[in-house]
Amino acid sequence: MLFFTQCFGAVLDLIHLRFQHYKAKRVFSAAGQLVCVVNPTHSLKYAPTLYPAAQTSTEQSILPPCHHHEAVHDPQLVPCMCPLFSCPWEGHLEVVVSHLRQTHHINILQGAEIVFLATDMHVPAPTDWIIMHSCLGHQFLLVLRKQEKYEGHPQFFAMMMLIGTPTQADNFTYRLELNRNQRRLKWEATPRSVLECVDSVISDGDCLVLNTSLAQLFSDNGSLAIGIAITTSKVHNSEAEM
Amino acid sequence: MLFFTQCFGAVLDLIHLRFQHYKAKRVFSAAGQLVCVVNPTHSLKYAPTLYPAAQTSTEQSILPPCHHHEAVHDPQLVPCMCPLFSCPWEGHLEVVVSHLRQTHHINILQGAEIVFLATDMHVPAPTDWIIMHSCLGHQFLLVLRKQEKYEGHPQFFAMMMLIGTPTQADNFTYRLELNRNQRRLKWEATPRSVLECVDSVISDGDCLVLNTSLAQLFSDNGSLAIGIAITTSKVHNSEAEM
């Protein structure tokens, strides 16, 4: 009897994931785009058909300051690489990917353009939604963080980070796009390196920032679909040094 | 002597405006784009060469609630049309433009694509930067508001409003674009009607929202250049009803 109950639960889960996948595909109609459903859960569950990689950090409500790794002086050690609040891990750049895969069960998506569907946007801050993305011969990390910089005023911060050095990161441009109800919001920027800290990217304002109203405007039933594209950098003619 | 001092001051002002105009033109390189310098000042000064239309609302630090006009029942009366905090005026849609021109000395710019250069972004909230824009046979109002929805946390809200009905507004799409330091932020939406209230647009999140860090990232020497384009609406293929 327990076996049948579990089977039924699994089937329901698959139907639910399929439904979310279908919804995200409707938002971004470009054929062949991979839709990735990302849940903010504690469990490290993993559904191969949809590549979910779900992480959360609600067990730690106080932000660890970026400088809690100040004792690290080896410049090759990655101090704040793991964007999850709860993970104190630090290590060399070369083993960041394996750490994220093995410890956090975060999968790697392939393809230059994907859709990141973050579910359960209503969960309290701080929470992270993260995924790895393999593209143009490099690995990138997409981090969506819900955080209260000001008490009672949660904001969402979305950014792409290269698992590489800042110099390597300068060779790329990424675009995040929200699109719903005849509203469209696009953020284009050079990715930051994971050698930098998620917190410092947020405090620099160097990411896509959404307040709660904007997030609700673009969400559907608590899920936010973010279209992601990565290209190699070109010189932007229209932005002269000022 | 006083005459010469004043002349010298006027020349310095012109040089300053010319410099700001030049800077804005370098940001948005498209030839022929009109650059409009908008100051958040109390004075209603007016420099014809650069079409400044400057308004501020710092004299009133408490937000008048939207429903302070609830006594108005004539649907043709525009209750919250004047986005300036300090102006209690209400009137019919047909005379909104003349009210803004005559009472607030706000000029009308022509052209489908313009650059709005808001100066002195550091002034304390609440402050408005506004300009009228004549395009495609209609008049639009660009409102940039600095406001503290949460105390000690000023945000910038930029929106385009049609001086017309909501049904007329549905025929247009506007785009606001920030572009600096290899970062680009674009907001595309249907304009709201001035028959609606600026406050309700802000609380709906239906506008471009910048926190202080983002605004600083895109500002140059305290000035923020916003590229504006208005087009007639097309059906967005990529945004299915969800």
Please tell me which residue of chain A has the smallest CA distance to B203. Answer: A213
Average pLDDT on A115-144 reads 90
pLDDT of residue B208: 96
Q: Which amino acid is at B191?
A: P
- The domain of B134 spans 33-40+87-234
Residue A198 lies in a domain: yes
Q: Which structure tokens are listed for B79?
A: 């209750």
pLDDT of residue A84: 66
Binned at pLDDT 50, 70 and 90, residue B8 comes out as low
Q: Which of residues 11-40 of A touch B (CB under 8 A)?
A: 23, 26-30
DSSP B58-98: TT--SPPPGGGGTT---TTEESS----TT----EEGGGHHH
Binned at pLDDT 50, 70 and 90, residue B62 comes out as very low
Which strand (E) or helix (H) includes residue B27?
helix B2-27
Average pLDDT on B95-109 reads 84
pLDDT of residue A186: 98
The pLDDT > 90 percentage for chain B reads 33
Strand partners, B99: none
Strand partners, A81: none
Optimal mutation site among A21, A239, A241, interface B, most CBs of chain B within 10 A: A239
B77 interface with A at CB cutoff 8 Å: no
- Work out the minimum CA distance from A103 to partner chain B, whole angstroms: 33
**Cβ separation A240–B153 shorter than 8 A:** no
pLDDT of residue A195: 85
Residue A182 lies in a domain: yes
B98 interface with A at CB cutoff 8 Å: no
Residue B12 lies in a domain: no
- Kindly report the average pLDDT of chain B as a whole number: 73
Please answer whether residues A155 and A209 qualify as being in contact, where contact means their C-beta atoms are separated by less than 8 angstroms.
yes
pLDDT of residue A113: 82
Distance between CA atoms of residues B127 and B57, nearest Å? 5
Average pLDDT on B20-45 reads 53
Nearest CA among A144, A148, A161 for reference residue A81 = A161
Binned at pLDDT 50, 70 and 90, residue A189 comes out as very high
Residue A107 lies in a domain: yes
**Cβ separation B153–A150 shorter than 8 A:** yes
pLDDT of residue B13: 52
Q: Is B147 exposed, middle or buried (0-12, 13-18, 19+ CB in 10 A)?
A: buried
Please tell me which residue of chain A has the smallest CA distance to B27. Answer: A239
Length of chain B, in residues: 242
pLDDT of residue A35: 72
Q: Which structure tokens are listed for B231?
A: 């087009």
Strand partners, A225: A117
pLDDT of residue B77: 62
Please state the domain count of chain B. Answer: 1
Length of chain A, in residues: 242
Asked if the interface predicted TM-score (ipTM) of this complex is over 0.90, the answer is: no
Q: Which structure tokens are listed for A166?
A: 């800042």
The residues, ordered by sequence, that sit 6+ positions from B48 with a Cβ below 8 Å of its Cβ are: none
Given a cut of 70, is residue A150 above it in pLDDT? yes
Average pLDDT on B180-204 reads 91
Q: What is the pLDDT of residues B212-233, one digit of tens each?
A: 999 999 999 999 999 999 999 8
**Cβ separation B186–A182 shorter than 8 A:** no
Q: What is the pLDDT of residues A21-54, one digit of tens each?
A: 555 444 444 445 677 777 674 433 333 222 333 3
Please answer whether residues B103 and B34 qualify as being in contact, where contact means their C-beta atoms are separated by less than 8 angstroms.
no
Note if the pTM is more than 0.80.
no
Nearest CA among A29, A35, A60 for reference residue A47 = A35
Binned at pLDDT 50, 70 and 90, residue A96 comes out as confident
Given a cut of 70, is residue A157 above it in pLDDT? yes
Q: Which among B149, B205, B214 has the least Cβ separation from residue A216?
A: B205
pLDDT of residue B68: 39
Residue B74 lies in a domain: no
Please tell me which residue of chain B has the smallest CA distance to A28. Answer: B238
Distance of CA B133 to the CA centre of its chain: 9
**Cβ separation B205–A220 shorter than 8 A:** no
Residue A7 lies in a domain: no
**Cβ separation B187–A184 shorter than 8 A:** yes
Please answer whether residues A232 and A171 qualify as being in contact, where contact means their C-beta atoms are separated by less than 8 angstroms.
yes
Given a cut of 60, is residue B71 above it in pLDDT? no
A205 interaction partners in chain B (CB closer than 8 Å): 211-217
A153 interaction partners in chain B (CB closer than 8 Å): 149-150, 153
Residue A197 lies in a domain: yes
Please tell me which residue of chain B has the smallest CA distance to A171. Answer: B182
**Residue A137 DSSP label:** T
- Work out the minimum CA distance from A190 to partner chain B, whole angstroms: 7
Residue A80 lies in a domain: no
**Cβ separation B181–A239 shorter than 8 A:** yes
Q: What is the pLDDT of residues A1-16, one digit of tens each?
A: 555 555 555 554 555 5
DSSP B33-44: -EEEEE---SS-
Q: Residue A95 maps to which CATH number? A: 2.60.210.10
**Residue A50 DSSP label:** T
Sort strands A192-193 and A153-162 into parallel, antiparallel or unpaired.
parallel
A187 interaction partners in chain B (CB closer than 8 Å): 183-185
